[in-house]
Amino acid sequence: MNLISKLSSAIVFSIVMPVMAFAHGHGHLEISHSWIKASLPGSKMTGGFVTITNKSKHDDHLIAAYSDIAKKTELHTMVMDDGVMKMRAVEGGWAIPTGATLELAPGGNHIMFIGLTGAVVEGDMQTITMEFKHAGKIEQMFMVKKAGEKKMQHGHDMTNADANSEMSHSH
């Protein structure tokens, strides 16, 4: 190997390393598809979604989420109650065993932002902190995307519920 190729591989190495450190950081939790639904006009709440794969050797657990965009940030699930789809806060969050993937998606589990301090606008990036039992607190950028075509209440897709049924919080 001549000096030039030694130098260039050293340069490549120094460029690649920080990227790898970033990808493998966070205690080997791989976080992707993090996004928040743009808030509807006049709405004071919206939902956030993320996919987390546990690539570490330790079982982990998403126990809480925090943000500056709302007075309260909660972990929510959807439950059927008397034929009506309702959102409910999940005490203690969700386990993510080693090798498992936790998917928060419209119509199911989600991060709930209640009492928005301002409009959540499409195209913005918001920093959300997620707290894990093992990996600790992780800050993640969430891209704000437009809500879908479906009829929305509280910024949620109502995939299983009657469009005429009322969605309510059990807070």
Comparing CB distances to Cu ion, the nearer of 24 and 151 is: 151
Q: Residue 112 interacts with Cu ion (CB under 5 A)? A: yes
Shortest reach from residue 167's CB to Cu ion, in Å: 9
Q: Residue 65 interacts with Cu ion (CB under 5 A)? A: no
Comparing CB distances to Cu ion, the nearer of 52 and 70 is: 70
Shortest reach from residue 135's CB to Cu ion, in Å: 24
Shortest reach from residue 157's CB to Cu ion, in Å: 11
Q: Residue 87 interacts with Cu ion (CB under 5 A)? A: yes
Residue type present at position 13: F
Query: Contact 134/56 with Cβ under 8 angstroms?
Result: yes
Query: Contact 54/98 with Cβ under 8 angstroms?
Result: yes
Comparing CB distances to Cu ion, the nearer of 112 and 130 is: 112
Query: Contact 162/148 with Cβ under 8 angstroms?
Result: no
User: Residue 33: CB partners within 8 Å, gap ≥ 6?
Assistant: 49, 50, 51
Shortest reach from residue 89's CB to Cu ion, in Å: 8
Q: Residue 76 interacts with Cu ion (CB under 5 A)? A: yes
Q: Residue 37 interacts with Cu ion (CB under 5 A)? A: no
Locate all alpha helices (DSSP H) within 24-165, ordered by sequence: 25-28
Query: Contact 52/102 with Cβ under 8 angstroms?
Result: yes
Comparing CB distances to Cu ion, the nearer of 28 and 169 is: 169
Query: Contact 134/63 with Cβ under 8 angstroms?
Result: no
Shortest reach from residue 150's CB to Cu ion, in Å: 16
Comparing CB distances to Cu ion, the nearer of 52 and 87 is: 87
Contact mark string toward Cu ion, 137..166, x via CB under 5 A: ------------------------------
Q: How distant is the alpha carbon of residue 43 from its chain centre?
A: 20
Tokens of 84: 């009506």
